[in-house]
Amino acid sequence: MIIPQKMTAKLADFSKLNQRYGWYRFDLTSPAQLHNQAGQYLMIEVGENTMRAYSMCDRPDLDSSFEIILDYRPNGIGVNYIRNLKFGDQINCLGPLGQLCVAPEHGDGRLFLLATGSGMSPLHAITIDQLQLQQTRRELYFFWGANNSSEFFWLDDFQDLQKSFPNFHFIPTISDPDDSWTLERGYVTDQLRGLELLPSDHFYLCGNPAMINSTIDYLCRERGLDKTQITTEQFSAPASR
């Protein structure tokens, strides 16, 4: 287990991904290196005695920096703190934290990653880690749900990964599609309905509680999966103040 530690880092890069999301890279100033597992998060100090959790979306071997995806929509103290940072500004944080990681006790079956919104962030880290670093041969399915197509980003990158890794299957789906959308429609849970599921499958769910609760309900009640086959992380409520 990696012990969480206090860290400082400075904002090194930023880009607005679309109206709803931004990408931020922070370079560590102290300590010089962060050792984390793909899927973990950090607590960032966003005010006096106020912390917010943000998952790392980047490959875990990039030890001297970390990257996050920020959903601007909650627009509270955490979002505004990060949004107002300038290049070179220093932040205080604590980490790595969290259990949303691919673990040996989850077996060696297929991996199903289901995300809504910025819940894709830790699952992106897991995808890159599994495909590029671990060079897994396991089948890896990534379902990413959004309300409409304008909320998606990095679709070309995911599609390139699909071309490079035949065991990777990327399924973006939207609940409120416009006519130009030619891919999957509906909630991420709907995409599981036609699939044959196996006792060796493991599911990683990240995002809003509604998606997580309805997917657990569907998998366990309707498809007979054991809860030990599912690992979750909810993004909605602040993890600590």
Ligand X SMILES: Cc1cc2nc3c(=O)[nH]c(=O)nc-3n(C[C@H](O)[C@H](O)[C@H](O)COP(=O)(O)OP(=O)(O)OC[C@H]3O[C@@H](n4cnc5c(N)ncnc54)[C@H](O)[C@@H]3O)c2cc1C
Q: E-assigned strands of 72-212?
A: 90-97, 111-116, 140-146, 168-174, 184-185, 202-207
In the complex, least distance from residue 22 CB atom to ligand X, rounded to whole angstroms: 9
Count of residues that interact with ligand X, criterion CB under 6 A: 23
Asked whether position 78 contacts ligand X by CB under 6 A, the answer is yes
Nearest CB to ligand X, comparing residues 3 and 237: 237
Asked whether position 151 contacts ligand X by CB under 6 A, the answer is no
Q: What single letter denotes the amino acid at residue 98?
A: G
How far apart (Å, rounded) are the C-alpha atoms in residues 147 and 48? 34
Asked whether position 239 contacts ligand X by CB under 6 A, the answer is yes
Closest C-alpha among 153, 168, 142, 27 to residue 87: 27
Asked whether position 68 contacts ligand X by CB under 6 A, the answer is yes
How far apart (Å, rounded) are the C-alpha atoms in residues 91 and 113? 30
Q: Which residues pair with 114 in a beta bridge?
A: 143, 205
In the complex, least distance from residue 234 CB atom to ligand X, rounded to whole angstroms: 6
DSSP conformation letters of 85-105: --TT-EEEEEEEE---S--GG
Asked whether position 38 contacts ligand X by CB under 6 A, the answer is no
Nearest CB to ligand X, comparing residues 53 and 174: 53
In the complex, least distance from residue 107 CB atom to ligand X, rounded to whole angstroms: 24
User: Strand 41-47 and strand 50-55: pairing?
Assistant: antiparallel
Asked whether position 129 contacts ligand X by CB under 6 A, the answer is no
Exactly one of 116, 118, 130, 232 binds ligand X (CB under 6 A); that residue is 118
Residues at the contact surface with ligand X, assessed by CB under 6 A: 41, 52-55, 68-71, 73-74, 76-79, 98, 118, 121, 233, 235-236, 238-239
